[in-house]
Amino acid sequence: MLDKSESFVTEDGRTIGGVVMEMQNITLRFGGVVAISDISFDIREGEIRAIIGPNGAGKSSMLNVISGFYVPQEGQVLYHGKPRPQMRPYEVARQGIARTFQNIALFEGMSVLDNVMTGRLNHMKSNVFQQAWWKGTAEAEEVKNREVVERMIDFLEIQHIRKTPVSRLPYGLKKRVELARALSAEPSLLLLDEPMAGMNVEEKEDMSRFILDVNDEFGTTIALIEHDMGVVMDLSDRVVVMDYGRKIGDGTPDEVRNNQDVIDAYLGVSHD
Amino acid sequence: MPEQLAFAMEVTLNGLMAGVLYALVALGFVLIYKASGIFNYAQGVMALFAAMTLVGIMNGQVPFSHLINAMLGTEIHHFGWHVPGLLAILLTVGVMVLLAWLVQVCVMRHLVGQEPIILFMATIGLAYFLEGVSDLMWGSEIKTLDVGLPQGINIAIEDATYKLFDYGFFVDNLDIVATVIAALLVTGLVLFSQYTKQGRAMRAVADDHQAALSVGISLNFIWVLVWSVAGFVALVAGIMWGTKSGVQFSLSLIALKALPVLMLGGFTSIPGAIVGGLIIGVGEKLFEFLVGPMVGGATENWFAYVLALLFLVFRPQGLFGEKIIERV
């Protein structure tokens, strides 16, 4: 077992750092329904951490706990080693945790560029009047923000649709715009909720490549949810497997693949 | 030039000026509707409340004096000081921000995610509540408002047009001031919503709540901000209308005049509110001038609504509104 602050080098030569976020005994209930039951796991700096499981396993709920959209009844979240007080989603975002949504949440009425720019909102420090009059620190700030935004737009290969209103884009591109917006916040932790849901094989390959590139180029820590086992195994460094709100496996893709509980859950062995 | 034509031009000019005032009221509706999808029925009453508060502060009136006197048997009505116009306006802005915050904390926050009709009902409730509060706070008698805006006929325009057409146009100075202020206000609002962080956040919240939260925008803060801005616009409208026709209950009914403006311009468009206001202003004055005599006059009461009805039939999203496309 590795120490929390210890770092190590993976097989493909990337360095994985200490623990960034730790979930401790999280339990989440909706009325009488237990969505997450006493789950603990951690996310290390620079890794791609996957949460997988069959439909209804509680994966999305877990991501929503991390991003503050749900408040668990029990357990606590440690961020950079410190217990995180109960926070609103926007406060979590301001701590450098960006996310995407399973059912894409973009600003449909705005252009791609404007959408990605909203990712920079928390990096704007000049006041209202400076911004409106384009004076003081506002100009330099805006130039810097633009640079970051353009880099992300280039990175995700969506230059050709910069000025297009998002509502006109096909599904696959919307997913990319959403990722660009999350990235432009330069997050220390990026949460992806089913980034490949509803995509065809080609789009899935593109998205996998983007996720790997993001991790590689910016060193962003990524936690993602996916129910497609194949994709996840190729992509991630470590995998948490959930079923019926419980954790049934945690480890490298190989370890998880050979875990009997995981095999049962995916092949549908009855619970008794 | 025939006198008829000169007269028509004067009517058009006055129509434009009246239209600016309609647009001012409509602007308040658009702001809140854009940012929260709420049709704020209380916008007109907010203008009344703002104007009454302004007069009250300027005259050094004691708020709730009737209530206080009735309960304690005292006889206080005035603090005995007069507050200069500009300072009073600033104080009133403060009151409107406070009101925005109260509306958010006491009402709107508890209705997040409810059906639009529920939110609409809430604003109706708010309208009547606010109306009662303004009466209780400042008394229900008609007051005059004078913050030092110029009033009366503009001599320069009268002279110039007299030389040109042999007929001097009557244009009220107050209308000219209103136009200038409205232009400044709209420029300010556009700068604010397009170029500032808070403006961007406002547009983001209007578009998608979840997405807004995920990029670190506090919905509560933005809503208080939007209601404050709407309160400020209400104050400007209240000052203009109040100076023109006195601060009284009927001021809150200008909200009804804003409805056809919104249907013309579209509920979601700031330029739409302006253009819609101008069209209605000019349209109703010209219609009264040209067609009025044939049908016995008083067309100004209904012209705007008939025009709005026509728009509802042929272009329901208004001139500038977002096109309503429903996927099946």
Co-location of A193 and A181 in the same domain: no
Residue A92: inside a domain, yes or no?
Answer: no
Alpha-carbon Rg for chain A in angstroms: 19
Say if the Cβ atoms of B198 and A128 lie within 8 Å: yes
Q: Which CATH number belongs to the domain containing residue B299 in this structure?
A: 1.10.3470
User: Which residue in chain A is spatially nearest to B197 when comparing CA positions?
Assistant: A121
| Same domain for A227 and A150 | no
Q: How far is CA A171 from CA A197, A241, B199, B328, in A?
A: 10, 27, 28, 17
**Token duo for residue B229:** 């801005």
Per-residue pLDDT band for A71 (boundaries 50, 70, 90) equals very high
pLDDT for res B327: 56
Q: What is the pLDDT of residues A140-155, one digit of tens each?
A: 888 888 999 999 999 9
A106 lies in some domain: yes
Q: How far is B33 from chain A (nearest CA, A)?
A: 15
Q: How far is B123 from chain A (nearest CA, A)?
A: 26
Question: Does B119 map to a domain?
Answer: yes
DSSP summary character for residue B232: H
Full domain range(s) for residue A106: 97-186
Structure tokens at A231: 């994709």
Strand pairing category for A82-83 and A74-79: antiparallel
The tokens for A32 are 């009488």
Cβ-defined contact of B191 to A105 (cutoff 8 Å)? no
Residues A82, A137: one domain? Answer: no
Contacts of B122 (CB under 8 A, 6+ apart): B107, B108, B111
Contacts with A91 from chain B: Cβ below 8 Å: 216, 218
pLDDT band at A92 (very low <50, low <70, confident <90, very high): very high
Give residue ranges of A with CB < 8 Å to any B CB: 67, 69, 88-91, 93-94, 98-101, 105-110, 114, 117-119, 121-122, 124, 128, 131-134, 181-182, 185
Please tell me the predicted confidence (pLDDT) of residue A56.
Answer: 83
Give yes or no: residues A81 and A206 share one domain.
yes
Q: Are residues A213 and A195 in the same domain?
A: yes
Distances (CA, A) of B259 to A151, B162, B253: 45, 37, 11
Same domain? A193 vs A182: no
Q: Is residue A35 part of a domain?
A: yes
Please tell me the predicted confidence (pLDDT) of residue B258: 85
Domain tally, chain B: 1
CA atoms within 13 A on the CB side of A192: 33
Q: What angle do CA A39, A45, A48 make, to 5 degrees?
A: 70
| Average pLDDT over every residue of A182-202 | 91
- Contacts A107 to B, Cβ<8 Å: 203-204, 207-208, 211-212
B208 to A108: CB separation less than 8 angstroms, yes or no: yes
Q: Between B190 and A181, name the one with better pLDDT.
A: A181
Interface size between A and B, measured as CB pairs under 8 A = 87
* Residues A106, A241 within the same domain: no
| Residues on chain A touching B200 (C-beta within 8 angstroms) | 114, 117-118, 121
Domain end point (choices A186, A210, A229) = A186
Cβ burial of A260 (10 Å; 0-12, 13-18, 19+) is exposed
Q: For chain B, what is the radius of gyration of the CA atoms? A: 21
pLDDT tens digits, A230-253: 888 888 999 999 998 999 989 998
Q: What is the pLDDT of residues A105-133, one digit of tens each?
A: 999 888 999 999 999 988 877 777 777 77
Quote the mean pLDDT of chain A: 88
Distances (CA, A) of B91 to A12, A128, A129, B60, B86: 65, 20, 20, 12, 9
pLDDT of residue B206: 82
Judged by CB atoms closer than 8 Å, whether chains meet at B207 and A109 is answered as yes
**Cα(A249)–Cα(A256) distance, integer angstroms:** 6
Flag if B216 and A90 touch (Cβ within 8 Å): yes
Cα distance between residue B106 and residue B94, in whole Å: 18
For the question of whether the overall pTM of this predicted structure is more than 0.90, the answer is: no
Residue B321 lies in a domain: no
Task: Average the pLDDT over each of A16-30, A78-92, B164-178, B218-232 and give the range with the smallest value.
Answer: B164-178
A218 has pLDDT over 70: yes
| Out of A101, A110, A131, closest to residue B197 by CB | A131
Q: Do A89 and B213 touch (CB under 8 A)?
A: yes
Q: Is B296 on the interface with A (CB under 8 A)?
A: no
Alpha helices in B166-218 (DSSP H): 173-195, 197-207, 209-214
pLDDT value of residue B97? 96
Task: Please tell me the distance in Å from B322's CA to the nearest CA on chain A.
Answer: 9
User: Which of A186, A209, A233 finishes a domain?
Assistant: A186
Which residues make beta-bridge pairs with A44? A19
Cβ of B207 within 8 Å of Cβ of A131? The answer is no
Q: From B170, B157, B146, B131, select the one nearest B240 (Cα to Cα).
A: B146
Whether residue A159 is predicted with pLDDT greater than 70 in this model: the reply is yes
CA distance B126 to chain A (A): 28
Q: What is the pLDDT of residue A49?
A: 94
Q: What is the mean pLDDT of each run of 10 residues along chain B (328 residues)?
A: 80 88 88 82 92 93 86 84 90 96 91 85 94 90 86 84 82 88 88 85 86 91 91 92 87 82 86 90 91 86 90 84 62
Residues of B whose CB is below 8 A from A121: 197, 200-201, 204, 215-217
Which candidate from A105, A124, A132 shows the least CB-CB separation from B214?
A105
Q: Kindly list the residues from chain B whose CB atom is less than 8 angstroms away from the CB atom of residue A119.
A: 215
Name the residue in chain A with its Cα closest to that of B202: A118
Confidence category of residue A272, pLDDT binned at 50, 70, 90:
low
Q: Between β-strands A238-243 and A246-251, what pairing exists: parallel, antiparallel or unpaired? A: antiparallel
pLDDT digits (tens, 9 = 90+) for A40-64: 999 999 999 999 988 888 899 999 9
Chain B residues within an 8 Å CB radius of A71: none
Contact A132 B210 (CB under 8 A): no
Q: Which of A126, A156, A186 is the last residue of a domain?
A: A186
Asked if residue B58 belongs to a domain, the reply is: yes
Is A128 in the same domain as A182? yes
In a domain, B185, yes or no: yes
CATH number for the domain that contains residue A152: 3.40.50.300
State whether residue B203 sits within 8 Å of chain A by CB: yes
Is A138 in the same domain as A259? no
Whether B185 has its CB under 8 Å from any CB of chain A: the answer is no
Contact A26, A38 (CB under 8 A): yes
Residue B328: inside a domain: no
Domain span at residue B63?
A: 3-314
Under a CB-based contact definition with an 8 Å cutoff, are residues B136 and B67 in contact? yes
Has residue A244 been placed in a domain?
Answer: yes
Q: Mean pLDDT over residues A158-182, rounded?
A: 92
Domain assignment present for residue B135? The answer is yes
Kindly list the residues from chain B whose CB atom is less than 8 angstroms away from the CB atom of residue A88: 213, 218
Is residue A75 domain-resident? yes
Same domain, A13 and A56: yes
What integer pLDDT is reported at residue B5 of this predicted model?
Answer: 84
Can you tell me which residue has the tokens 């994985």? A16
Residue A62 inside a domain? The answer is: yes
In the structure, what pLDDT confidence band is assigned to residue A268 with cuts at 50, 70 and 90?
low
Determine, for residues A185 and B216 on separate chains, whether the beta-carbon distance falls below 8 Å.
yes
Who among A101, A121, A133 is closest to B197 (CB)? A121
Which of A61, A51, A64 is CA-nearest to residue A240? A51
Please indicate, yes or no, if residue A157 is contained in any of the structural domains. Answer: yes
Q: Has residue A34 been placed in a domain?
A: yes
8 Å CB contact of A128 and B322: no
Residue with the larger pLDDT of the pair B267 and A78:
A78
Report the domain count for chain A. 2
| CA atoms within 13 Å, Cβ hemisphere of B249 | 9
- Confirm or reject contact between B197 and chain A (CB < 8 A): yes
A124·B197 Cβ contact <8 A? yes
Do residues A232 and A267 both lie within one domain? Answer: yes
pLDDT at position B328 is: 56
In a domain, B322, yes or no: no
Same domain for A124 and A257?
no
Alpha carbon B190 to its chain centroid, in Å, reads 17
Residue B28 in domain: yes
Residue indicated by tokens 């195994």? A233
Contacts of A118 in chain B (CB under 8 A): 200-201, 204, 211-212, 215, 217
Report the pLDDT value the prediction gives residue B326, as an integer from 0 to 100.
Answer: 59
